[in-house]
Amino acid sequence: MGGESNGHTLTRLVPPPLYRHRLVLALATDLLCQLVELQSEEAREASAFSHSMDLRTMTQSLVTLAEDNMAFFSSQGPGETARRLSNVFAGVREQALGLEPTLGHLLGVAHHFDLDTETPANGYRSLVHTARCCLAHLLHKSRYVASNRRSIFFRASHNLAELEAYLAALTQLRALAYYAQRLLATNRPGVLFFEGDEGLTADFLQEYVTLHKGCFYGRCLGFQFTPAIRPFLQTLSIGLVSFGEHYKRNETGLSVTASSLFTGGRFAIDPELRGAEFERIIQNLDVHFWKAFWNITEIEVLSSLANMASTTVRVSRLLSLPPEAFEMPLTSDPKLTVTISPPLAHTGPGPVLARLISYDLREGQDSKMLNSLVKSEGPRLELRPRPQQAPRSRALVVHIHGGGFVAQTSKSHEPYLKNWAQELGVPIISIDYSLAPEAPFPRALEECFFAYCWAVKHCDLLGSTGERICLAGDSAGGNLCITVSLRAAAYGVRVPDGIMAAYPVTTLQPSASPSRLLSLMDPLLPLSVLSKCVSAYSGTETEDHSDSDQKALGMMGLVQRDTSLFLRDLRLGASSWLNSFLELSGRKPQKTSLPTPEAVRPTESMRRSVSEAALAQPEGLLGTDSLKTLTMKDLSFKGNSETSDTPEMSMSMETLGPSTPSDVNFFLRPENFHEEGEAKDDVGTMDRAPRVRAAFPEGFHPRRSSQGILHMPLYSSPIVKNPFMSPLLAPDSMLKTLPPVHIVACALDPMLDDSVMFARRLRDLGQPVTLNVVEDLPHGFLSLAALCRETRQATELCVQRIRLVLTPPAAPLS
């Protein structure tokens, strides 16, 4: 009895297989969370170093530590790890010494490009700050290595991988500093955008786009931003590269989202693989991929979750404005009117959608006329009893959302708009304009102008008397706010009382600037993505109809995805996730002779990371570009050639094809770049190369991208010079018609120089303008308002600027 009882008890103590899998998954998730917290803590310490030391002191300290560590590891014998650590510290020393004079020069002249002494911000300052952040992290890591290198707990391989990643980033930043120095020498005093002749511009941009970018999307992802936001950026990048794998497999909606969630395990574990995949995706996938990825937030389930965490409002209704012409009075003579016609460009007359958001139910918002315009969005749960109507507000906010002119709707921006409605106490109408590439310029402008005029004319239906009206928008929406005001002035109708534009793009020309150089490393605004969005909006994108059914995720397809297919992907994705962690736990299944997707390799035969494969190359490649001649396929085969019978390659390499050509771009190489780059004996190439590469000192060689060439022309379409597309290029007479403009920009945004130069133009014309620049946040912080303290403060700054517009000016004292 006792033996049976003991045996029975022991049997019960053995967890069932499903429980063991859940336990492994829970432990792995907890480990990843701890790693993220550790990285955030290290990032905070590095950030503290960056702000407490001047550039020269920081460089000298880093060089001293690098020399000390280099000497130590050189004396540790012929071991491979010690040799590589010695080499990486030698590289850190070399790059830091080479970078410091250039950064000092840029910093010494940066003040000439500020809007004023109260607003020290421009692309040169941002580039120096970014380089300082990288130096600070290397300084922090070098100190850690010097203090712990003799400890038995010192993780040599982990520290080596991180040091090599940041050395690669520092090398590329040194190249960007030289490019910025070249811009400084070429441009007129005080001008931030490149103004060289066309041939020189082509040479400059041709050289710039060849730089390696993957190092900024792996271990170094978001190092320049506030530590609180980096875990989000890591999650976003993992989701993006996982999403890219499933994009062209006839998968849509919740299916591709769920598959991406569960198959992203290896990208979370391997930062170098993630960086290489990120670079390949941003360079090779077309605008429809980005449209699909950015529209994930439009999925009903995700948008509902976001709204649950936001402010509860009385009114959030989608309106369909009929495409009917109406009359508006002229501001110069209200007795005269002008006809506002419905949008016509490209697709003919059609309704314009707009979302009305109000914290309180106000007079007019429940009228029969407004109810007749409401577009059904399905059943809505009333969380609060219907109150008595509040009186009409004296003010109204007309909002235009961002999304690169190609993605998102007011639904994506609804969470922070609800907060605005509560804080400002005014109704907000957010315009859902038609998106490119299906509806290129000027369709969006026509729809936004039509909706703006409709809101001004029918503000009583929206719960406002319309005494004060503010146009507010972010990114592409900021651009449209400015151009809608210009169009209103051109028609002679009422312009808004002010504009709040958050990180707007004010010129769509392919002009380089110091802040736009940061697009090389920006995870939210990569340079190739910028070019694809501009091409789509300008209507010059070349469509590829070979797989048009897979171009974008239709909204109906997102919510009507077949349930059985979703569950299948969920099961397969979860299995893939578990297998990734079971490999790490050392579980060794039986080897198979054929390469099957279900095969789980033992720990010893797992695919080595990009950095491991690259570092296994001959010593001569170290310190320059150990990745530039290796593709993802090469690295995978090299990494497994010694330990695995079946080489492995990322599935995305097999399923993702080349991108579609595009005509408008920010930094793009010409179609024949590859041939020119490799045919060194070509006369034209030899003639031009010295002009471009003379910016680099002898012996300095930045890393070059190993991704496929971009088959895109270098020169932009003339349409991007249209002032209603690029308001920075508008003549003085047009800009003088603008109301007060309040710009909130980001110091680390590739579009920073757009804001600075636009504010300077308005200031020079005597126009009322303010520019506030927030530190350490990325482009698009409004959509991240609830993420951390820094994004909440930046969002509150936008609310303050809007409130400034909505507050009537004080009456002069008699």
Type of residue numbered 633: K
Angle at which helices 230-246 and 17-52 pack, to 10 degrees? 130
DSSP alpha helix (H) spans, 458-493:
476-491
Closest among 532, 549, 548 to 285, alpha carbons compared: 532
b/e string for 269-288 if b means 16 or more Cβ within 10 A? Answer: bbbbbbbbbbbbbbbbbbbb
Q: Helices H, strands E: what count in the chain? A: 28, 10
CA nearest to 615, candidates 157, 89, 67: 157
Nearest to 234 by CA among 213, 218, 256: 218
Radius of gyration of the chain (CA): 28
> Rounded to whole angstroms, how far apart are CA atoms 732 and 737?
9
Q: Which residue has the tokens 């170290």?
A: 622
Question: Which residues does residue 18 pair with via DSSP β-bridges, in sequence order?
Answer: none
> Among the options 475, 576, 626, 783, which is catalytic?
475
Instruction: Please tell me which residue in 497, 749, 753, 754 is annotated as part of the active site.
Output: 749
- Spatial distance between the Cα atoms of 665 and 527, rounded to a whole number of angstroms: 8
**Half-sphere exposure in the Cβ direction for 316 (13 Å, CA):** 27
Cis check for the bond before 427: say yes or no (omega within 30 of 0): no
- 460 is a catalytic site residue: no
| Of the candidates 131, 103, 126, the residue with the CA atom closest to the CA atom of residue 114 | 126
Establish whether 367 is a catalytic residue. no
Query: Are the CB atoms for 62 and 70 separated by under 8 Å?
Result: no
- Contact at 8 Å (CB) between 633 and 648? no
CA distance 708 to 749: 26
Please tell me which residue in 432, 625, 779, 783 is annotated as part of the active site: 779
Residue 415: is the preceding peptide bond cis (ω within 30°)?
no
Q: List residues bridging with 472 in a β-sheet.
A: 399, 500
Tell me 633's DSSP state.
Answer: H
How many angstroms separate the CA atoms of 518 and 513, rounded?
A: 9
Relative to beta strand 315-321, strand 352-358 is: antiparallel
φ/ψ (deg, to 5) at 452? -60, -50
- Distance separating alpha carbons of residues 729 and 508, to the nearest angstrom: 10
H-helix or E-strand containing 773?
A: strand 769-774
Torsion of CA 222, 148, 132, 100, to 10 degrees: -140
Tokens of residue 335, six digits: 């007795």
Could you tell me the two tokens for 109?
A: 């002249």
For residue 3, which amino acid is it? G
**CB-based contact 158:144 (threshold 8 Å):** no
Has 754 been annotated as catalytic? Answer: no
Other Cβ atoms closer than 10 A to 789: 9
- The single residue listed with the structure tokens 């920081």 is 58
What positions carry a catalytic annotation? 475, 749, 779
